[in-house]
């Protein structure tokens, strides 16, 4: 397996904005008098905003029209972006910084493949806006993970075939997307033990050593 490019999911891999998602969804849930737990929040990991809203509204005592759902999703995103404004380069771990620098020094092409429509905003806040060779995000795709569209787009932007790219993911939906698109996958965090992954990472710094071995 000759890897020429690495495509990273953003949230949960390069950084963690889970606390901001939870706070924003919890605020909306309280507004609607719907219970919302950490377990509900974990179910939303790796899926689109509208799918996440559907998870929250499973506990609602009434149905919501498409227009109402769109308004609720927009309100959640406004709250989330307000919280994201507090992100800074200090939120990027030393392990992540070192791993990215090492992979770059190895001559690999690097990309972000995220279903989030806020990916570029997050990268900017982290000081990574100009670091990656390509960014594919939720503003450019019609289908979110587990569909492979975002990873296929990232690979095209890198001018590499899926077979020459490794996807790094922390969610089952992301591993599914990688496999469906013909990519090798590395699992980290909650996806570390996914049997479909070819690499199982305790942290990102493990990745360079594994790729160096070929």
Domain ranges of the chain: 5-16+88-213, 18-84
Query: Model confidence over 29-45: pLDDT tens digits?
Result: 999 999 999 899 888 87
Low-confidence residues in the chain, pLDDT < 70: 1, 46, 214
Q: Which fold has domain 18-84?
A: DNA polymerase; domain 1 (1.10.150)
- Residue keyed to tokens 């999703």: 73
**pLDDT at position 47, please?**
76
Query: Model confidence over 130-169: pLDDT tens digits?
Result: 999 999 999 999 998 999 999 999 999 999 999 999 999 9
**pLDDT at position 214, please?**
64
**pLDDT at position 42, please?**
84
| Domain 5-16+88-213: assigned CATH number | 3.40.50.1000
**pLDDT at position 18, please?**
83
Q: Which residues of 173-197 are buried (b: 16+ CB within 10 A; e: fewer)?
A: bbbbbbbbbebbbbbbbebeebeeb
**pLDDT at position 156, please?**
98
Q: Which residues are catalytic?
A: 9, 11
**pLDDT at position 61, please?**
94
| Tokens read off for 70 | 């769109």
């Amino acid at each position: 397996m000759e890897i020429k490019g690495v495509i990273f999911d953003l949230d949960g891999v390069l950084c963690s904005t889970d606390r901001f998602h939870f706070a924003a969804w919890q605020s909306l849930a309280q507004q609607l008098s719907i219970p919302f737990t950490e377990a509900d929040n974990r179910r939303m990991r790796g899926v689109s905003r509208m799918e996440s809203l559907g998870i929250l509204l499973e506990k609602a005592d009434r149905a919501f029209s498409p227009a109402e759902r769109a308004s609720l999703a927009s309100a959640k995103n406004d709250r989330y972006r307000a919280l994201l404004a507090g992100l800074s380069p200090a939120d990027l771990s030393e392990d992540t910084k070192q791993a990215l620098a090492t992979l770059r020094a190895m001559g690999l092409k690097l990309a972000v493949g995220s279903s989030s429509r806020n990916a570029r905003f997050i990268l900017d806040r982290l000081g990574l806006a100009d670091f990656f060779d390509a960014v594919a995000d939720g503003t450019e795709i019609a289908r979110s993970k587990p569909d492979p569209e975002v990873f296929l787009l990232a690979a095209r932007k890198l001018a590499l075939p899926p077979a020459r790219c490794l996807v790094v993911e922390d969610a089952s939906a992301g591993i599914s997307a990688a496999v469906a698109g013909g990519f090798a996958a590395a699992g980290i965090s909650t996806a570390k033990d996914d049997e479909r992954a070819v690499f199982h990472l305790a942290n990102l710094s493990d990745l360079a050593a594994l790729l160096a071995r070929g």
